[in-house]
Amino acid sequence: MNKEILISVDHISHYYGNHCAVDDVSFSVHRGEVLGFLGPNGAGKSTTMQMICGVLSASAGQITVAGHDMFESPKAAKKNLGFLPEHPPLYQDLNVDEYLRYAARLRGIIKAEIKKAVETSKQRCGLSDTGKRLIKNLSKGFQQRIGIAQAIIHSPAVLILDEPTSGLDPNQILEIRELISELGNDHSVILSTHILPEVQSVCDRVLIIHQGKLVLDESLDKLQQDDHIRPIKIALRQPPPPEVLGEIEGITSIEQIGNHHFKIYCQSDIETINRITKMSVESEWELYEMIPERDSLEETFVQLTRGESQSLSDEKPDENPDEAGEDSE
């Protein structure tokens, strides 16, 4: 992709006391790209996002947003960023217009431009008819839209969304995902989530972070290409010995999980699947079930983040006292 790089994260690390939460992470985000940021609990997602937003400093490394160094010129860098935290800071007793006007003032939009900024962000987030409604009377889905509207009020080049669909019902989830896809046309979006289908439905590229290290940076198209090894469960009424199945071209390994059931690891291309079904018919194995166990993103995620449980380290050691009050805006 030759598009302009809007976020560049260059060898950043962050220590909480002696604990390395983010370890030498580098990546970049281009204009018009929606990037999914995945990782198990405690992997370092929030710490990384907070560094990109300039809320936490980096122990090492550099971050630039639209060409501005986040640590040397935080004001200029933050002008180009919009952030939706997991729990958006909404004032429940304000109406939507009042709240968005307030957000616009906080973002330094000049008085003459505020009305237009509020109307545009409401319109983009499907809030045009809600201006006079009190926030506390709106559904969680609408409140999330308001959170997104405040994040885009100053038309930032980059949008950072932390778990934007958490706590929403299935219809609201679909609506917010559609909105994110639309916003992805004009902004660069970083979407932190642990919901894999969300990444599949809205992202162009996926990063996986595990124990503070970046373990994957790949386009979704590439991940979903058919050349990945994926487990498939098959059931045969008259199975041959597993070694015979293992001889089928494309099968890399095989595990017998019952008298009739096998888990086979194979290239998930259509030719391999066809060979298995054809052999089964020719050899009268009576294939009656064939179920892909996981899709390629899920499989990749599990493979890359398997191992030492992160939940053990979820307990937070003391914050480094040097870092209090770092927000330099």
Sites of contact with ligand ADP (CB under 6 A) = 16, 19, 21, 39, 41-47, 313-314, 316-317, 319
| Strands (E) located in 31-187 | 34-38, 60-65, 68-69, 81-84, 158-162
Nearer to ligand ADP, 226 or 319 (CB): 319
Nearest approach in angstroms of CB 329 to ligand ADP is 20
| Strands (E) located in 67-138 | 68-69, 81-84
CB-CB neighbours of 84 under 10 Å: 24
Nearer to ligand ADP, 42 or 54 (CB): 42
Nearer to ligand ADP, 154 or 210 (CB): 210
Q: In what order do the strands lie in the sheet with 68-69?
A: 19-30, 5-16, 60-65, 68-69
Q: Are 24 and 38 in contact (CB under 8 A)?
A: no
Nearest approach in angstroms of CB 190 to ligand ADP is 13
CB-CB neighbours of 249 under 10 Å: 11
Nearer to ligand ADP, 16 or 102 (CB): 16
- Phi/psi class of residue 181: alpha, beta or left (left: φ > 0; alpha: ψ in -120 to 50)? alpha
Nearest approach in angstroms of CB 17 to ligand ADP is 7
Nearer to ligand ADP, 249 or 319 (CB): 319
Nearer to ligand ADP, 20 or 290 (CB): 20
Nearest approach in angstroms of CB 269 to ligand ADP is 34
The secondary structure element, H or E, covering residue 208 is strand 205-210
Nearest approach in angstroms of CB 12 to ligand ADP is 12
In 3D, which of 269, 278, 277, 222 has the Cα closest to residue 250?
Answer: 269
The C-alpha R_g of the chain, in whole angstroms, comes to 24
Q: Count CA atoms closer than 13 A to 271's CA, side-chain side.
A: 6
Nearest approach in angstroms of CB 16 to ligand ADP is 3
